[in-house]
Amino acid sequence: MATTAVTDSSFQSDVLESDKPVLVDFWADWCGPCKMIGPALEEISDELSEKVTIAKMDIMENPDTPGKLGVQGIPYLALYKNGEIVADMRGAAPKSQLKGWLEQQL
């Protein structure tokens, strides 16, 4: 399962009301580190599709949600369970580190 795009208008239903944990990748097209972790997140999404949904939010196209959450730097990964952030990670990391961190949180 590929990553899912979320927007300010779909954030409530796609993330906060999800029955499954959701990892949100806050990113922007101009962000080099964001582009570096993008392919890894796609692969992790396929590998862990039964356990977690991986969503991507472009902060330039959707400024409201990141603004409310106080997102100040990207890439910023936030793991939601039952509508609450239970873990987060700032900055880029190799796929093995991203996947290991995520699996520990699930």
Which residue among the candidates 22, 31, 54, 77 is catalytic per the annotation? Answer: 31
Neighbours of 11 (CB within 10 A): 22
Which residue among the candidates 6, 15, 24, 34 is catalytic per the annotation? Answer: 34
Could you tell me which of 49, 57, 59 has the C-alpha nearest to residue 2? 49
34 a catalytic residue: yes
In angstroms, the Cα distances linking 83 to 12, 33, 41, 42 are: 8, 27, 21, 23
2 a catalytic residue: no
Neighbours of 44 (CB within 10 A): 20
Task: Report, as residue numbers or ranges, the catalytic residues.
Answer: 31, 34
